[in-house]
Amino acid sequence: MNDLSPAPQSLSHVTDWVFDLDNTLYPRSCNLFAQIDLLITQYMMDLTKLAFAEARALQKAYYRDCGTTLNGLMQRHEVDPEHFLGTVHKIDYSPVEAQPELVATIRALPGRKFILTNGDVGHARAVLERLGGADELFEDIFDIRAMAYKPKPLPEAYAAFLTAHGIDARRAAMFDDLEKNLVVPHETGMTTVQVVAAEDFTHEQVDAWELGRSSGAHVHHVTDDLADFLKTLP
């Protein structure tokens, strides 16, 4: 484990552990989201009648500016979110391998554990089944529907989650692969951990901003090995 933390901050006070799903509970190298990404591009092409390059540029702009492509599509094209989610999650989950050490380490954490994802519950359960961690490991999977389709990094997403479960942000930790998704948690008083790829990872479907590591004040810890980080908590 390579702990890249720019600002050590103890997690001994944490009683509620909040995990993003994609590229956080499984390695980015699984490239699982790449399958979803291509299905989203096709969805964009079918909807807008744009060519691949133009549809993809619009897709990434919505993702960057609206939190998710779906949020942009709902705002600007009145897309039915259920139709979108049912279309873009028809993927092959076999690249996700079992992670018994990670599952055992999360299970051993003191307090409650949650998933906070911009995906949906069905997608999360499919991933957890592959990891070997049935969703009984987590108190709740708080998904895009529970957020009323207002995704991370919007403040409404975190407020809805914290309120729903009566969480004191000052006693909670948030783990996410995207540093922009840690800004609001930091502002609410949560301890934040960015989970990054263990090795340099590039892919034509991944923009540079999706891979960035941050030394900003809103990122308290950075790790490229989540299981090891949790076993040796600061």
**Tokens for 192?**
């934040």
Q: What's this model's pTM, rounded to 2 decimal places?
A: 0.86
**Tokens for 2?**
């390579």
Percent of the chain with pLDDT strictly greater than 70: 88
The one-letter amino acid at 121: V
pLDDT of 68 > 90? The answer is: no
> What is the per-residue pLDDT for 89?
87
Q: How far apart are CA 35 and CA 190, in angstroms?
A: 32
**How does pLDDT run across 69-87, given as a tens digit for each residue?**
998 999 999 999 999 998 9
> What is the per-residue pLDDT for 30?
86
Domains and CATH numbers, the chain: 16-26+96-231 (3.40.50.1000), 33-88 (1.10.150.450)
Q: Phi and psi of 193, rounded to 5°?
A: -135, 120
**Tokens for 66?**
């609206």
**Tokens for 229?**
């980080």
Sheet bearing 112-116, strands edge to edge:
140-142, 112-116, 16-19, 172-176, 191-195, 221-223
pLDDT band at residue 128 under the 50/70/90 scheme: very high
CA distances from 145 to 1, 43, 71, 118, 131 (A): 34, 20, 12, 9, 23
> What is the per-residue pLDDT for 12?
92
pLDDT band at residue 49 under the 50/70/90 scheme: very high
Q: How far apart are CA 136 and CA 134, in angstroms?
A: 5
The one-letter amino acid at 58: L
> What is the per-residue pLDDT for 192?
96
**How does pLDDT run across 153-188, given as a tens digit for each residue?**
999 999 999 999 999 999 999 999 999 999 999 999
pLDDT of 6 > 80? The answer is: no
Terminal-residue alpha carbon distance, the chain: 13
